[in-house]
């Protein structure tokens, strides 16, 4: 229970959605609880769209925004239940939820089936997450059909169902001050976790030992869960982009690539760092690392308002390609490498993505074929990398070197703010952070 909830950011977002739907109705459910096995569930996590508009984290909840002259925000949620609260924890119940989270009304979730047709009556359109689940689509269809069944009484049913996520995605692209503060805290926690990993990792440990250090720091600082499955990849595993097994014994001379970020108050962080398990880069490792770092720093210069989203990826590709030529990984001219895309042998992903409530956050990257223009309040990752698998065409001293460097970057009015800037990144900083 938290009776000190600041409901104003969520109420403000609801007002923006009211303006978007006009006289229509919006209906947004939270995520269902999911069984892990038999009668044991996964740790519950709310739906991001629902939470963005409510700040309400309990399952079995639905938000209804009734537009028009007499607009009202209604929360459907679980009733108080002492027996269930003994077993599962505190519930707000409709009365407390209405007061604390600033809804016009709050009703028991059990009444949703009866109330929805009443609220939909004479509305032109229903705005809801279409296709988010067959059960939810069926519930909306059932409610619309119930309204249609009242046609003889003069009531008209909605004639269209609109995916509300398109509107909410545009809203979520630009983070407000409340969101930015939470993301700064998520970034701070994750930065300290990465520093802890550098300080504690050593040859002879298993990857999961380092993963445990990350989890320890997250939870110690108030983050209950990671924003995504950790990647803790040593040696050849660093060349597997989404490696999750964390079961290899780390060897002297290995690099360790860690892609990990916590979720704090519903907001993600996403940091990648690569460092030597023994605390000292070899010469080939240092050379590849510097090539990636040069690309990452060049990208940072392109992350500013007015720039198209794709520009920094093009910068990363160009700088990395030149680095591959300088290292002898590729042959030919830079223009040839770029035209033929031979760089994709070692660099095969984009330079970054939106980040916010979801680690790969909501929002289009292109509209009608045109890349989004970066605007203040957008938050984006910057994560070039090089991944060198054993190959006859590659000098052996580069084999199994996988390096990615990733920061979370807020677009500001005059440039950008690196939210994860405190995480060691230069060769000297990383080696210093590895000292015990």
Which DSSP category does 137 fall into?
H
Taking phi over 0 as left and psi of -120 to 50 as alpha, with beta for the rest, 359 belongs to alpha
Q: Which one is catalytic: 349, 389, 417, 431?
A: 349
Q: For residues 265-288, b (16+ Cβ closer than 10 Å) or e, as one string?
A: bbbbbbbbbbbbbbbebeebbebb
Annotated catalytic residue 383: yes
Q: Which one is catalytic: 230, 404, 407, 408?
A: 404
Annotated catalytic residue 216: no
- Strand (E) or helix (H) holding 297: helix 283-302
Q: Which one is catalytic: 45, 199, 350, 360?
A: 360
User: DSSP letters of 162-188?
Assistant: EETHHHHHHHHHS--HHHHHHHHHHHH
186 in Cβ contact with 263 (< 8 Å): yes
Annotated catalytic residue 98: no
User: CA-to-CA distance for 200 and 241, rounded, in angstroms?
Assistant: 23
Q: Which one is catalytic: 36, 152, 242, 436?
A: 242
Annotated catalytic residue 387: yes
Q: Who's near 307: CB < 8 A, 6+ residues apart? A: 373, 374
User: CA-to-CA distance for 69 and 23, rounded, in angstroms?
Assistant: 8
Q: Which one is catalytic: 24, 115, 263, 383?
A: 383
Q: Which one is catalytic: 179, 254, 406, 407?
A: 406
Annotated catalytic residue 90: no
β-strand partners of 275: 256
256 in Cβ contact with 211 (< 8 Å): no
Q: Which one is catalytic: 39, 83, 335, 414?
A: 39
Q: Which one is catalytic: 259, 263, 358, 361?
A: 259
Q: Which one is catalytic: 165, 248, 353, 407?
A: 353
25 in Cβ contact with 123 (< 8 Å): yes
Annotated catalytic residue 105: no
Q: Which one is catalytic: 172, 387, 407, 408?
A: 387
Q: Which one is catalytic: 58, 211, 254, 270?
A: 270
Residue 406 to residues 151, 207, 364, Cα–Cα distance (Å): 57, 20, 21
Annotated catalytic residue 353: yes
Annotated catalytic residue 326: no
User: CA-to-CA distance for 424 and 402, rounded, in angstroms?
Assistant: 18
User: CA-to-CA distance for 359 and 242, rounded, in angstroms?
Assistant: 14
Annotated catalytic residue 287: no
User: CA-to-CA distance for 392 and 234, rounded, in angstroms?
Assistant: 22
Pairing state between β 379-382 and 407-412: antiparallel
In the chain, count of helices (H) and strands (E)?
13, 21
Which residues belong to the active site? 39, 242, 259, 270, 349, 353, 360, 383, 387, 404, 406
């Amino acid at each position: 229970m938290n009776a000190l909830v600041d409901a104003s950011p969520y109420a403000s977002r609801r007002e923006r959605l009211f303006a978007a739907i006009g006289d229509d109705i919006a209906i947004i459910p939270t995520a269902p609880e999911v069984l892990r096995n038999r009668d044991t569930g996964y740790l519950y996590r709310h739906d991001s769209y629902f939470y963005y508009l409510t700040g309400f984290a309990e399952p079995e909840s639905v938000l209804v925004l009734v537009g028009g002259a007499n607009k009202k925000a209604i929360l459907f949620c679980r009733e108080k239940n002492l027996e269930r609260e003994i077993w599962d924890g505190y519930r707000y119940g409709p009365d407390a939820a209405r007061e604390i989270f600033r809804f016009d009304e709050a009703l028991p979730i059990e009444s949703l089936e009866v109330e929805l047709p009443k609220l939909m009556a004479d509305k032109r359109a229903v705005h809801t997450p279409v296709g988010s689940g067959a059960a939810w689509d069926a519930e909306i269809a059932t409610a619309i059909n119930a309204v249609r069944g009242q046609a003889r009484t003069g009531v008209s049913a909605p004639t269209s169902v609109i995916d509300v996520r398109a509107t909410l995605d545009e809203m979520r692209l630009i983070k407000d001050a409340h969101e930015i503060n939470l993301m700064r805290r998520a970034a701070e926690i994750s930065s300290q976790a990465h520093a802890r990993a550098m300080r504690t990792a050593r040859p002879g440990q298993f990857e999961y030992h380092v993963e445990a250090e990350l989890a320890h720091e997250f939870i110690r600082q108030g983050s209950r869960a990671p924003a995504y499955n950790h990647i803790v990849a040593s040696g050849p595993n660093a060349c597997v982009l989404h490696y999750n097994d964390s079961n290899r014994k780390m060897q002297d001379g290995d690099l360790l690539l860690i892609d990990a970020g916590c979720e704090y108050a519903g907001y993600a962080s996403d940091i990648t760092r690569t460092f030597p398990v023994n605390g000292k880069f070899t010469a080939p490792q240092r050379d590849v690392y510097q090539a990636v770092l040069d690309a990452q720093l060049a990208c940072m210069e392109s992350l500013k308002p007015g720039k198209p989203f794709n520009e920094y990826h093009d910068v990363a590709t160009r700088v990395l390609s030149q680095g591959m030529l300088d290292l002898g990984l590729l042959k030919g001219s830079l223009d040839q490498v770029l035209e033929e895309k031979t760089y994709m042998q070692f660099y095969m992903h984009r330079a970054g993505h939106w980040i916010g409530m979801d680690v790969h956050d909501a929002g289009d990257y292109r509209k009608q074929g045109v890349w989004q223009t970066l605007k203040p309040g957008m938050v984006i990752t910057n994560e070039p990398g090089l991944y060198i698998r054993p190959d006859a065409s590659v000098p052996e001293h580069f084999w199994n070197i996988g390096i990615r460097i990733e920061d979370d970057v807020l677009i500001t009015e005059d440039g950008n703010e690196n939210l994860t800037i405190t995480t060691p990144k230069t060769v000297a900083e990383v080696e210093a952070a590895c000292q015990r």
